[in-house]
Amino acid sequence: MVELPNGDFAVTMAKLLFLAAYQKPLYEELAAASSDDPELAAIAAKAVKESAYHLDHAALWTVRLGDGTEESHRRMQNAVDEIWPYTHELFESHPDWLSTVDEVLRESTLERPADGWRPTGGRDGVHTEHLSRLLAEMQVLHRAHPGVTW
């Protein structure tokens, strides 16, 4: 899901909503478990705040678009439909993210897509062609200046 192009703003917000709804409870869990390590606890506390901000931002935009004009509703629903199949493999180990997503979709008058086709193989290294483009872009500095440190 992360490797897919953002497309229009609705796709970007759908991706952010799904990811932030998944990450927030994981960071809260990490913050609670890291009380013995002050440095890790501080990092986890910051991650909790950041993920809460991202979830709030994505939820607000999802509601604005979903419950807005006919055009914005159509675009947001299309974005949710497009990204939905890619959420399963990523989030199947922590299904509790779904209640957060369902609440936002309900408030934004959007429908959760039916489960159907879903890509597999991501955990085994099978990805879309979009990942190779992302990797090439992220590695350009290292490849242009091998061995550099800063």
Counted residue by residue, the chain has a size of 150
- The single-letter code of the amino acid at 111 is E
Cβ atoms of 27 and 37 closer than 8 Å: no
- What does the alpha-carbon distance between residue 124 and residue 46 come to, in Å, rounded to a whole number? 31
Read off the pLDDT of residues 120-130 as tens digits, 9 standing for 90 and up.
666 666 677 77
Express each pLDDT in 63-89 by its tens digit: 999 999 999 999 999 999 999 988 887
C-alpha distances out from residue 52 to 74, 80, 105, Å: 27, 20, 17
**pLDDT at residue 4 is higher than 80:** no
- Residues with Cβ < 8 Å from 58, sequence gap 6 or more? 13, 16, 17, 20, 104
Q: How far apart are CA 80 and CA 102, in angstroms?
A: 12
DSSP 145: S
Cα(52)–Cα(104) distance, integer angstroms? 14
Are residues 51 and 41 in contact, defined by beta-carbon separation less than 8 angstroms? no
What domains can be seen in the chain, in order of their start residue?
9-120 (1.20.1260.10)
pLDDT tens sequence across 14-30? 999 999 999 888 888 88
pTM exceeding the 0.85 threshold for the entire prediction: no
